[in-house]
A and B are shown apart, each in its own frame.
Chain A
Amino acid sequence: MKKKTGLLLFELREGFIIALQSIVANKARSFLTMLGIVIGISSVVSMSTAIKGIDASFQKGISALGTDVLYIDKWAWFSNTEWWKMRNRRKITMEQYEKYKQTAQLPMAVAPVSNARKKVVYNENSVESVNINGSNADYVKTTNFTFALGRFYNDIEAKGARDVAVIGSELANKLFPRGDALDKTIKIGGFGYKIVGVLTEQGSFILGDFNPDNQVFVPIGTVFKHFASETFRSITINVRARTPALVEETKIEAEGLMRKIRSISPGIENDFSVNQQEGLMTNYNSVVGVIQVAGLFITSLSLFVGAIGIMNIMFVSVKERTREIGVRKAIGAKRRTILAQFLLESSTICLMGGFVGLLVAILLSYVVDRFLPTSIQASAVFIAIGISLITGVVAGLAPAYTAAKMDPVDALRYE
């Protein structure tokens, strides 16, 4: 038994040496064949890391928003309700917010929110169409905000509708590249606001209005005062549950209370929506799922093309070396020796291609990292090597088998 494994190792080693010699002897051909695998492996690895990167930063961002927060809104974020139906809903008012806040038992914090979209200017620096988030001092309790500078506006400032603002980190970087934002006065839609706080980075890959890094937080009264009349605007009520486990109960309570507050008769459907991140997550997951499947499918196609290339070359190589196979058989090579020789050749080409492909993918990830935080996982390395090895064996199998079962007499006679 021991002797047998020893012999197998011996044959593997010799086969590997023969394979290497053959690869080196046909440099141009080996390189071109390898190229297919290089492209295949690098695209598969890049794709999977890109997807992982998007996923990771989205998860991070979404948890910064808080998964235990409910948003009572006139609009449903994710639903099949027709847009015009929702448009005709009654607005949610500050008065309803007050009533809800007084009666609700389960929330940890409740805050009214009214948004505006304005240009924000400080000296020569400006950012167009920034989400201006108007609320009260309780708002900060509905978030996990941490502060790089200063603080959130307080109750007195909120009630007095003072022109004070808290800005997100990205916005702060754009307006105050030197980091001296505190106590400066910025212009929001032409109105001066004094900065009392700057947030630390919350989530780098949440798009649009969900990204707190790119927002301004001001007392809600100032939004009504400067940008939109309270009488026309529907507000959103942000509700944070005491614990994530209580989210569902808090939601049920909110629906009940809001129906009562808005005097909706039994049997009539809600004319408001209690939105949740979960909806966002579900939506996001289904989108990413599609991207993942489609992306990996398309990139796998290129790997598949590479594998066909290998198979093709191996068939040519076997045909070309028919006589050599005949000689090897005549002087004592067994079927499995020939089989191993060609399998080793194709898997060596694929493995080399896999390593190069991995290198290309790593280089690519450094470039991509500038736009999207990615990192090549250790698992990707093993997967890439594994896939290329399997590709080599699978692509080499048919040609190697053809070589192995050749009749030595015919092979020697082959011209």
Chain B
Amino acid sequence: MNENIINIEHISKVYTVGDVKVHALYDVSLRIDSTEYVAIMGPSGSGKSTLMNMLGCLDTPSGGKYDFKTRNVSLMTDNELAEIRNREIGFVFQTFNLLSRSNALHNVELPLIYAGVPSAERKERANQALISVGLGDRVHHKPNELSGGQRQRVAIARALVTNPAIILADEPTGNLDSKTGEEIMLLFHEINQKGNTIILVTHEEYIAQHAARVIRVRDGLVERDEAIVNRYIPGISKPESAVK
């Protein structure tokens, strides 16, 4: 039985730019359960990024209700949001967003520092996370000594290290060539197979097809929410359209 992690009911988000109110999200409801692999798709300006920020607890909705593991996020303070981001959410960004002056190990360690994990345990867990993404031999390299794919792997290790409830990846292959992108997608697949919940935000149909479910957003509304029948499983099924 998969437990419910995210339950959103009629949330909206209104930004005020000058005197004009902009509805970034109009009325969105969705549920995401554990071990799911969900892609959120939408063109730019669709409210996709805003939705991602909501899901990632980086921002709170203007209206509606957002429950994260039965806790109401809409009512949380900044500190509580920071805690939930720290423990329950692993972020993977398009531009990797690693600390350029710190080595891979320290980058992966960082969320554990904020979680108050003692140094020895931290190092051990960070090391394990790096091994699990295939970077066991790059632990002491700094980001500028790593390739784009390796950097993204460090970022994924950083997202995994706290054993979060969801991995939230925002265009994780956007800055990578297609071959490296494919490797990263394989890694996500493996991570999902191990029981991690993944939410993938993308505007590329091909990338979205790796997930088991696609939520399409347009004009601040959920346009369609459907299971993918014929998913791409990297390394196993490689459809024609994958070769651009």
Asked, given contacts A14-B113, A412-B93, whether A334 binds B82 with beta carbons under 8 Å apart, the answer is: yes
CA distance A221 to B97 in the complex (A): 95
B59 at interface by CB-CB < 8 Å: yes
Digitize A7-32: 1 where CB-to-B-CB distance is under 8 Å, 0 elsewhere: 10011001000000110010000000
Q: Nearest Cβ distance between residue A324 and chain B, in whole angstroms?
A: 6
Are A409 and B59 in contact, with the CB atoms below 8 A? yes
Question: Which B78-101 residues have C-beta < 8 A from chain A?
Answer: 78-79, 82-83, 85-87, 91, 93, 97-99, 101
**Range of interface residues on chain B?**
20 to 34
**A328: B residues at CB distance < 8 A:** 110, 114
CB neighbours (8 Å) of A323 from chain B are 97
- Cβ of A335 and Cβ of B114 under 8 Å apart? no
Residues of chain B lying within 8 A (CB to CB) of residue A409: 53, 58-59
Give Cα A332–Cα B90 distance, bound, in whole angstroms.
10
Residue of B nearest to A415 (CB): B95
Query: Which residue of chain B has its CB nearest to the CB of A26?
Result: B101
User: In the bound complex, what is the Cα–Cα distance between A333 and B114 (angstroms)?
Assistant: 6
Asked if A332 and B83 sit within 8 Å, CB to CB, the answer is yes
A331-B101 in contact given A7-B116, A409-B53, A409-B59 (Cβ < 8 Å): no
Whether B115 sits at the interface, judged by CB under 8 Å, is: yes
- CB proximity to B under 8 Å, residues A265-299: none
- A408 adjacent to chain B (CB < 8 Å): yes
Residue on A nearest B117 in the bound complex, by CB: A10
Q: How far is the CA of A295 from the CA of B34 in the complex (A)?
A: 70
User: Would B97 and A332 count as touching, CB distance under 8 A?
Assistant: no
Q: Per-residue 0/1 for B61-86: is the Cβ within 8 Å of any A Cβ (1 yes, 0 no)?
A: 00000000000000000110011011
Q: In the bound complex, how far is the Cα of B97 from the Cα of A323, in angstroms?
A: 8
Q: Is B111 an interface residue (CB 8 A)?
A: yes
Candidate in A25, A331, A333, A409 with the most chain B CB atoms within 10 angstroms: A331
Given contacts A337-B114, A409-B58, contact A331 B85 (CB under 8 A): yes
Report the bound CA distance from A409 to B111 in whole Å. Answer: 18
8 Å CB interface, B98-131 against A: 98-99, 101-102, 110-111, 113-116, 118
Q: Is the CB of A329 within 8 A of B82?
A: yes
Residue on B with the closest CB to A337?
B114
A interface residues, how many (CB within 8 angstroms): 24
**Counting CB contacts under 8 A, is A327 at the interface?**
yes
Which residues from chain B contact A335 at a C-beta distance below 8 Å? 78-79, 82
Is there contact, CB below 8 Å, between B58 and A333?
no
Question: Is B158's CB within 8 Å of the partner chain A?
Answer: yes
The answer, yes or no, to whether B220 is at the interface (CB within 8 Å) is: no
Residue of B nearest to A25 (CB): B101
Please tell me if the beta carbons of A331 and B79 are within 8 angstroms of each other in the complex: no
Q: Which residue of B78, B91, B116 is within 8 Å of A331 (Cβ)?
A: B91
Bound: A337/B116 CA distance, A: 12
Sample (27) of A-B pairs whose CB atoms are under 8 Å apart? A7-B116, A10-B116, A14-B113, A21-B101, A21-B102, A25-B101, A324-B99, A327-B97, A327-B98, A329-B82, A329-B85, A330-B56, A330-B58, A331-B86, A331-B158, A332-B82, A332-B87, A332-B114, A332-B115, A333-B82, A334-B78, A334-B114, A335-B79, A335-B82, A337-B114, A407-B59, A412-B97
How far in angstroms is the closest Cβ of chain B from A12?
A: 12
Which A residue sits closest to B59, measured CB to CB? A409
Q: How far is the CB of B194 from chain A (nearest CB, A)?
A: 21
Across the A-B interface, the 10 shortest Cβ-Cβ residue pairs? A332-B86, A332-B114, A334-B82, A331-B111, A25-B101, A327-B97, A408-B58, A14-B113, A330-B91, A409-B58
Closest chain B residue to A13 by CB distance?
B119
Q: List A contacts of B110 (CB < 8 A).
A: 328, 331
Chain A residue with Cβ nearest B114: A332
> What is the minimal beta-carbon distance from A327 to any residue of chain B, in angstroms?
5
Q: How far is the CA of A21 from the CA of B97 in the complex (A)?
A: 18
Give complex CA distance A408, B79 in Å. 12
Interface centre among A11, A21, A330 (most CB of B within 10 A): A330
Assuming A331-B85, A412-B97, what are 5 further A-B pairs, CB within 8 angstroms? A10-B116, A326-B97, A327-B98, A332-B85, A334-B82
Given the known A-B contacts A333-B114, A409-B53, are A327 and B99 also in contact in the complex, defined by CB atoms under 8 Å? yes
Residues of B within 8 A of A21 (CB): 101-102
Bound Cα distance from A323 to B93, whole angstroms: 12
**Chain A residues near B87 (CB, 8 Å)?**
332
Give residues of chain A (301-327) contacting chain B, Cβ–Cβ below 8 Å: 323-324, 326-327
A-side contacts of B93, CB under 8 Å: 327, 412
Q: Shortest CB–CB separation between residue A325 and chain B, in angstroms?
A: 11
Chain A nearest CB from B10 CB (Å) reads 21
Please indicate the chain B residues that have their CB under 8 angstroms from the CB of A326 in the complex. 97
Closest to B50 in A: A409
- Give the residues in chain A near B114, CB-CB below 8 Å: 328, 331-334, 337
By a CB distance below 8 angstroms, the chain B residues around A333 are: 82, 114
- Which chain A residue shows the least CB distance to B159? A331
On chain B, the residues within 8 Å of A331 by CB distance are: 85-86, 91, 110-111, 114, 158
* Bound complex: CA A327 to CA B85 (Å): 11
Residues in A neighbouring B99, C-beta threshold 8 A? 324, 327
Q: How far is the CB of B59 from chain A (nearest CB, A)?
A: 5
In the complex, chain B residues whose CB is within 8 Å of the CB of A324: 99
Chain B residues with Cβ below 8 Å from A329 are 58, 82, 85
- Min CB gap B110→A, angstroms: 6
Nearest-neighbour CB distance to chain A for B229, whole angstroms, equals 34
Closest A residue to B111 by beta carbon equals A331
Q: How far is A389 from B97 in the complex, measured between Cα atoms in Å?
A: 33
- Assembled-state Cα–Cα distance A337/B93 (Å): 22
Min CB distance, B145 to chain A, in Å? Answer: 15
- CA of A256 to CA of B58, assembled, Å: 91
